[in-house]
C-alpha cells in the first residue's frame, strides 16, 4: 500500500491588495515568480485576508473601541453567543462560531479591520475558475481563516471557503486494520489542509498563499458550509 506524501509550497505576494484586485491573477504571477507551476489535484490555500481586501470587506475601527466593534459585529449580521469582558464569541451569517465575527486587525492599516467575505465558497469558486482557465490545471481552492477552538488553547487555520473538492473524507462503513466497522469517523480534510498551509504562511511572513501537492482529496462540488455543525445539533451553545 502506498503511503501518501504531500509537499507544501509557500507563495509570497509582494504589495498590498486593494478593492477590485484580481486575486487569482496575483496568485498566478506570484507562483511564476517562485517557480511553482500549478498541476491537477493541487490544493491552493488562500488566506481570507487578501480576498476580503480585494472584495472591499473593510471597516473603520479605532483600536480598543469595543462599542464600535460590537456595532460592526451587529452590522455584519452575527449573533452574540457568549461574552467575557471584551471577548465576544459569535455565530456569523455563514454559521461559523468564532471570536468577534471574524473581525481581524492584523495585516491591515491601523484603524481598520478586515471582515469575512460575504460568501467565501463563491469567492473560492471564482478563484478556482480563473486559475483553471489560465493554467488548465484542475486545482482545488480553500479560503482559510484563523479560529480558536473549543476546549483547546491556541488557534489554527480552518477552511471558510471550498471549491473543487469535498471538505470531508468519510470513513463511515469502512473497516479499520482490525476489521472493526467505523461508524462516525468523518475527517475534515479541508480544515486539516488549511492548518497544514499555515506552516508556510505564518502571520507575518507576507505569504498569503500555499500550494499543497499530493493531498488525498476527493474531487467534487464541496463547500465549507458542509463543515458547519447545525445549531440544533450543538450540545453546548
pLDDT band for position 233 (cuts 50, 70, 90): confident
3-state secondary structure 214-233: CCCCCCCCCCHHHHCCCHHH
Residue 209 lies in a domain: yes
User: What's the total number of domains in the chain?
Assistant: 2
**Which ranges of the chain does DSSP label H, i.e. alpha helix?**
23-34, 48-54, 66-75, 120-135, 189-201
Strand-pair category, 43-47 with 140-149: parallel
Mean local confidence (pLDDT), 216-226: 95
Interacting residues of 65 by C-beta distance below 8 A, sequence separation 6+? none
pLDDT of 32 above 60: yes
Q: Residue 129 class from Cβ within 10 Å (0-12 exposed, 13-18 middle, 19+ buried)?
A: middle
Cell numbers representing residue 74 in the block: 451587529
Count each helix (H run) and each strand (E run) in the chain, helices first. Answer: 5, 12
Residue 94 lies in a domain: yes
Residue 234 lies in a domain: no
Residue 192 shares a structural domain with residue 86: no
Domain extent, residue 152, equals 1-47+119-224
- What span, in angstroms and rounded, lies between the C-alpha atoms of 215 and 145? 20
CATH number, domain containing residue 124: 3.30.1330.100
Residue 104 shares a structural domain with residue 197: no
> The pTM is what?
0.93
Mean local confidence (pLDDT), 11-35: 96
Mean local confidence (pLDDT), 61-86: 89
pLDDT of 111-142, one tens digit each?
A: 999 999 999 999 999 999 999 999 999 999 99
pLDDT of 173-207, one tens digit each?
A: 666 666 666 666 789 999 999 999 999 998 778 89
pLDDT of 12 above 70: yes
Amino acid at each position: 500500500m502506498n503511503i501518501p506524501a504531500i509537499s507544501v509550497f509557500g507563495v509570497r505576494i509582494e504589495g498590498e491588495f486593494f478593492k477590485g484586485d484580481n486575486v487569482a491573477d496575483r496568485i498566478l504571477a506570484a507562483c511564476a515568480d517562485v517557480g511553482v507551476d500549478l498541476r491537477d489535484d493541487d490544493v491552493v490555500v488562500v488566506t481570507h485576508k487578501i480576498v476580503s481586501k480585494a472584495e472591499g470587506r473593510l471597516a473603520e475601527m479605532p483600536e480598543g473601541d469595543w462599542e464600535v466593534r460590537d456595532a460592526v459585529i451587529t452590522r455584519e449580521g452575527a449573533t452574540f453567543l457568549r461574552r467575557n469582558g471584551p471577548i465576544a464569541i459569535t455565530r456569523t451569517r455563514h454559521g461559523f462560531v468564532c471570536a468577534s465575527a471574524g473581525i481581524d486587525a492584523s495585516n491591515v492599516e491601523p484603524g481598520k479591520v478586515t471582515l469575512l467575505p460575504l460568501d467565501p465558497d463563491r469567492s473560492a469558486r471564482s478563484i478556482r475558475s480563473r486559475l483553471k482557465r489560465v493554467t488548465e490545471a484542475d486545482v482545488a481552492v480553500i479560503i482559510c481563516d484563523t479560529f480558536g477552538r473549543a476546549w483547546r488553547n491556541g488557534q489554527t487555520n480552518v477552511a471558510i471557503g471550498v471549491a473543487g473538492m469535498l471538505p470531508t473524507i468519510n470513513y463511515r462503513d469502512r473497516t479499520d486494520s482490525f476489521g472493526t466497522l467505523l461508524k462516525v469517523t468523518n475527517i475534515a480534510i479541508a480544515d486539516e489542509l488549511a492548518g497544514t498551509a499555515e506552516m508556510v504562511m505564518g502571520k507575518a511572513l507576507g505569504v498569503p498563499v500555499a500550494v499543497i501537492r499530493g493531498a488525498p482529496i476527493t474531487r467534487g462540488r464541496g463547500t465549507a458550509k458542509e463543515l458547519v455543525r447545525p445549531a440544533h445539533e450543538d450540545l453546548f451553545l
